[in-house]
Amino acid sequence: MSTRVVIDPLTRIEGHLRVELLAEDRRIKDAFACTTQFRGVENVLVGRDPRDAWVFAQRICGVCTFTHGLCSIAAVEDAIGYPIPVQAKLIRDLMMRTILIQDHVIHFYQLQALDWVNVVTALKADPAEAARIGSSLSNWTGNSRGAMAETQETVKKIVESGQLSIFTNGYWDHPGYQLPPAVDLLAVTHYLQALTFQREMIKLHTIFGGKNPHPNMLVGGMATPINMDNEWTINQVRLDQLKAIVAGTQTFVEQVYYPDVLAIMGFYKEWFDIGAANPNLMALGLAGTWGSGDPNLYRGNRLEPGLLLDGDFRKPVPFDLSKIVEYISSGWYDYSVGADKALPPWQGETNPNYTGPQPPYEWLSDRPKYTWDKAPRYGDKAVQVGPIARMLLAYAQGEPSVVTMLDAAMAQLGIRLEQMNSTAGRTLARAMESVLMAREMQAVFADFAGRILNGDTAVFNPDKWEPSSWPQAAKGVGFVEAPRGLLSHWVQLEKGAIKNYQCVVPTTWNASGRDPSGQMGAFEYALAHSKQHPLTDKDKPLEALRTVHSFDPCMSCAVH
């Protein structure tokens, strides 16, 4: 007899996710991912000026802020055939890598860490030992005994006050927490230091975009002028600030984030055998790859866009743009072609029709439709997107930086490539690509600064700004390898205005419900496909949280 388990709100994610589980003998037997928020941004965009679209689209998500704006601009620039100056591309590259790393760091420490790190146990630690472990992992200057003792004092005050704030009702007595107290303390210290780090790092967005979250950008380039002889522009003061930010970023991810993830996953090795999702992975390239039009034509992308299918993680299959479609068989929508049919995004429709129970309700998934998420599929395949797809595709293509790093990590942890498709593997892949991104940022910044030295200051191309220069009707697509995976925006223009707008977002792929052939999306598959996923205590669903968090769910992205 299976028991119903509901996790709603599933916290420490972006947006509103409800997970319904059927559990038996402390194992998950079935799972349903229910996205419970709809806003209708695609419908709001219809009829608007395409140069304004990024402002609307960016509000899809404030966590991966910038990403949807960039994707929107890439789609619009594709539609009107709008080339941009090299420096504008480099600024966008820097901003994209910034949000990728910042988002990954916040995800690990602020959103995911409390699944693995026990704040209360950190009280039992010897600060000196925590400092010793810290300095054995890296040269990070924040690993002093004093820093550890201070963290412990902060935690102690909170626990003793009886008002636990954000730690209220945590599962602190759950047997799943297995770190030695000193490692708990080290991780909590880095939790606090990560907050400081992300505040500093994001200033790169403020310099180029004026603010964050939701920095400003521009169709046709960027609005931030470069003029070494003016105080309001990108000048030597700004270049110095940028240089420091880029260097500080590399330090933090190399000395804190990546060593922490390696060490912590090392204590939880069994999680490389738990939470395998659909063995089909899709990516366009490394994190931060973005562009207009068919990704197979992108210049400068070190990798071929591709897929790894049916568990063969060594053989890349070419990517075909025309194979992306969306189903609504489990989503609260209508299609003019019928509910069991798929639509490609350029012909996509967003006709919301809520047929679930009126709240308050107890259970959603006993009806065929149980989520606001559409179900994107690649042809007939349910695929997984995200850092894991990027890293394994790069590995399969022999990208040297990835091969070196992944081989070293697998050797250290004693795991096989196939085990990377797991709860721990997805977590590790995210940290690993942050290091690669940080190193790339150094190169992009050097290129940007070097070009300024050579007098290349153009950031905006005025040629196609005026709607009179646009075709009467056009369509375009933009792609971004976003923090959570492959993102695409699909736009149709008519007479200078948006006729149709569709977004197929990483979490739309990963959080999708059943398609007409009954295939589960990645969240559901990872929780339920093996029927062996642990769930020790249905009132404290710690293990389910670990697996869902390993995807870094962004529900306002998934359903927009």
Q: Is residue 147 a contact point for another protein (CB under 8 A)?
A: no
Residues of this chain, 508-547, that bind another protein according to CB under 8 A: 539-541, 545
- Number of residues binding to another protein, judged by CB under 8 A: 105
Residues of this chain, 333-362, that bind another protein according to CB under 8 A: 352, 354, 356, 358-362
CB of 279 to another protein, least distance (A): 28
Measured CA distances, 220 to 308, 458, 514 (Å): 35, 11, 40
First to last CA, the chain: 37
CB of 337 to another protein, least distance (A): 21
Stretch that binds another protein, among 38-46, 279-287, 382-390, 424-432 (CB under 8 A): 38-46
Q: Write out the two tokens for 104.
A: 């990954």
* Selected binder of another protein within 43, 135, 138, 530 (CB under 8 A): 43
CB of 352 to another protein, least distance (A): 7
Nearer residue to another protein within complex by CB, 346 or 465: 465
Q: What is the spatial distance between Cα 410 and Cα 333, in angstroms, rounded to a whole number?
A: 43
Q: Is residue 168 a contact point for another protein (CB under 8 A)?
A: yes
Residues of this chain, 233-252, that bind another protein according to CB under 8 A: 233, 241
CB of 361 to another protein, least distance (A): 5
Stretch that binds another protein, among 197-205, 413-421, 504-512, 524-532 (CB under 8 A): 197-205
CB of 289 to another protein, least distance (A): 24
| DSSP string for residues in 395-425 | HHTT-HHHHHHHHHHHHHHT--GGGGSSHHH
* Selected binder of another protein within 26, 124, 156, 199 (CB under 8 A): 199
Q: Is residue 177 a contact point for another protein (CB under 8 A)?
A: no
Going edge to edge, which strands form the sheet with 27-35? Answer: 3-7, 17-24, 27-35
Q: Is residue 256 a contact point for another protein (CB under 8 A)?
A: no
* Selected binder of another protein within 26, 124, 156, 211 (CB under 8 A): 211
Supply the DSSP symbol for 9.
S
Segment 168-171 long-range contacts (CB within 8 Å, at least 24 positions apart): 170/114, 170/119, 170/120, 171/537, 171/540, 171/542
Q: Check: CB of residue 301 under 8 Å from CB of residue 319.
A: no
* Selected binder of another protein within 23, 84, 105, 119 (CB under 8 A): 119
Measured CA distances, 560 to 138, 372, 393 (Å): 41, 9, 28
Q: What is the spatial distance between Cα 493 and Cα 477, in angstroms, rounded to a whole number?
A: 11
Nearer residue to another protein within complex by CB, 25 or 539: 539
Residues of this chain, 62-81, that bind another protein according to CB under 8 A: 62-63, 65
Q: Spell out the residues 6+ positions from residue 325 whose beta carbon is closer than 8 angstroms to its own.
A: 342, 343, 344, 345, 376, 377, 379
| DSSP string for residues in 423-457 | HHHHHHHHHHHHHHHHHHHHHHHHHHHHHHHTT--
Residues of this chain, 406-465, that bind another protein according to CB under 8 A: 457-462, 465
